Chains A and B, each alone.
Chain A
């Protein structure tokens, strides 16, 4: 039973990390990108590539994952978001990010292969330790670190405050001399780096698999919606809830209804409290 709990928490924390990435992207661009899950997929794939294929030390593998994630984040912003935001048309960024997500998934499938490939052991540890296995604790620890890091970033650093300013009111920020384009690019690079990190940490759990992207996009989004858009603590709670629910439902009812249960959770929360557990009520001036 303990395994169910820990597995659920670990996958839940991966979803929470994706939700954190959504949050960072959303704060500066008000866009929820379909490519969010794919960033983590790239982190896992590039990490595995660096360590297993290029035989580099795991710290370099970590760096590779972060750089790959950050680069893809920047690419998303430059290609799919920047030109499209000006047109004030909601569909377009959904489409452009969807297109980019498809492209990156196919490219990864062609380059890395369509079979899940192993992710290397990062810290020497015996395999029989059960619930203390690093494949569970790495994602949990990493996501908590990321959340704490983000909070410190927003509260204590200048750039963090600039991000918050942009999320409050982009025009006012621009009027105060903040280069919104550059800040947005930065936030996408940051969110990409975080996503890559999350994918790297969870690699031993998920294996390096090219098709992870869409699953993570959807589940990360459910974690985000349940926890509330804009709240990092909410993201963690939402992710944990989703992960645990998935694990226990799968344990008791078998794996066939997994998606149904995940979405069931989402629908219930959205019907009762549409802004999520800890989200702010979205009030829009008309």
Chain B
């Protein structure tokens, strides 16, 4: 009978071997930083994107990781505060030494944090839409996955001018940073097409009633209203004002017009008719009533995580979050390592990478990866399970 001492030592050695032996076998994880704004403004978008990111990470890890290494996701919540975004960018780049960073979500935070990541040389997958976030010279390792603000605005403008054949445009934006910038871009693009808006106004996003602005727009002879704001309260009130006044004009603008919350803010469900917004082919039901195959696959995968019932968030957020991780996987796999130089080279030569949200292409001079061909216009009140039907041509 072995002595107590020998038995215990034996057990201890085995235990140690198991614990440390195991970790010696596993390779260094691939660290992905995720700067999100899970609380505060635009949190609903961030939360949905987070679902997509988490799903992709879990999926990849279950299948053995990237190049045999597991992904470690470091999530940081900025609550919409640019100072925190800067601090977290610094922390992820220098303290945690992550290999890639996704985000930030809000354009305001992005403007502050992306230069920092660029200076540190960390590859950055950008999901903010403001045009100034991408610059191949200043930020060589930043690649955008979402469409640009310009793509949203020009899609909406094209629909208004070419499909609906309207010429007297009223622009209503909010006083936030996004609103003021978008109103400017929208006016610019319209003037390039030879149209000057008949009415343009900036409104506080919490203004309780928009009847005055709508009345003034009507008095100026507008035959279409184009709102540029991500504030669902404002958009809800705008649609209510249009309905209460009995003014039959189409409303075409920012994708937030199609958000599920809007439905609840409307006085009558009919007020959502004749409302169109920039959308994507990847989240549009085809003529056969079906979503593109890749989208449908992801919907089925995500549904249990969102409660199992109907999906009531904009699905493109989830799809985009999922794609950011897949793009990273593609970059690291193809370049064979997490070396930032290699990642940059791979992404710059990526053509037609098939994601769920879109098919991406980048080049050394073009770091905006979202194709114009994926843009379309949706009808707001066809919201079902996170996706939409096409707007009438």
Q: Do chains A and B touch in the complex (CB under 8 A)?
A: yes
Q: What is the interface of chain A, defined by CB distance below 8 A to chain B?
A: 3-4, 7, 10-11, 109-110, 113-118, 121, 127-128, 130, 133, 205-207, 209, 215, 250-251, 254-256, 258
CB distance from B230 to the nearest CB of A (A): 11
Additional A-B contacts beyond A116-B233, A118-B264, A215-B206 (12; CB < 8 A): A3-B209, A3-B212, A4-B212, A109-B40, A110-B39, A114-B41, A115-B44, A116-B206, A117-B264, A250-B212, A251-B212, A254-B202
CA distance A255 to B215 in the complex (A): 15
For this complex, into which size category does the number of interface residues on chain B fall? 20 to 34
CA distance A127 to B232 in the complex (A): 20
Stretch in B104-112, B239-247, B369-377 with 4+ CB within 8 Å of A: B239-247
CA distance A278 to B49 in the complex (A): 54
**Which residues on A sit within 8 Å (CB–CB) of B39?**
109-110, 114
CA distance A10 to B264 in the complex (A): 23
> In the complex the two chains form, is A209's CB within 8 Å of B41's CB?
no
**Which residues on B sit within 8 Å (CB–CB) of A206?**
206, 208
> In the complex the two chains form, is B264's CB within 8 Å of A255's CB?
no
CA distance A254 to B267 in the complex (A): 26
**Which residues on A sit within 8 Å (CB–CB) of B243?**
127-128
- The chain A residue sitting closest to B267, CB to CB, is A127
For chain A, what secondary structure do more than half of its interface residues adopt (helix, strand, loop), or is it mixed? Answer: helix
> In the complex the two chains form, is B261's CB within 8 Å of A115's CB?
yes
CA distance A77 to B138 in the complex (A): 55
Name A130's contact: one of B44, B236, B244 (CB within 8 Å): B244
CA distance A209 to B204 in the complex (A): 15
CA distance A45 to B261 in the complex (A): 16
| CB contact list, B256-286 vs A, under 8 A | 261, 264-265, 267-268
CA distance A206 to B233 in the complex (A): 9
- The chain B residue sitting closest to A121, CB to CB, is B267
> In the complex the two chains form, is B207's CB within 8 Å of A250's CB?
yes
Q: Does B175 contact A (CB under 8 A)?
A: yes
> In the complex the two chains form, is A205's CB within 8 Å of B240's CB?
no
**Which residues on A sit within 8 Å (CB–CB) of B233?**
115-116, 207, 209
| CB contact list, B57-109 vs A, under 8 A | none
> In the complex the two chains form, is B208's CB within 8 Å of A11's CB?
yes
CB distance from A264 to the nearest CB of B (A): 16
Q: Does B211 contact A (CB under 8 A)?
A: yes
CA distance A255 to B209 in the complex (A): 12
> In the complex the two chains form, is B208's CB within 8 Å of A254's CB?
no
Q: Does B54 contact A (CB under 8 A)?
A: no
> In the complex the two chains form, is A209's CB within 8 Å of B206's CB?
yes
Name A127's contact: one of B43, B44, B208, B268 (CB within 8 Å): B268
**Which residues on A sit within 8 Å (CB–CB) of B41?**
114
Name B204's contact: one of A7, A117, A255 (CB within 8 Å): A255
From known contacts A256-B202, A258-B204, infer whether A7 and B209 are also in contact, taking CB-CB under 8 Å: yes
**Which residues on A sit within 8 Å (CB–CB) of B201?**
254-255
Name A255's contact: one of B43, B202, B244, B261 (CB within 8 Å): B202
| CB contact list, B156-214 vs A, under 8 A | 175, 201-204, 206-209, 211-212
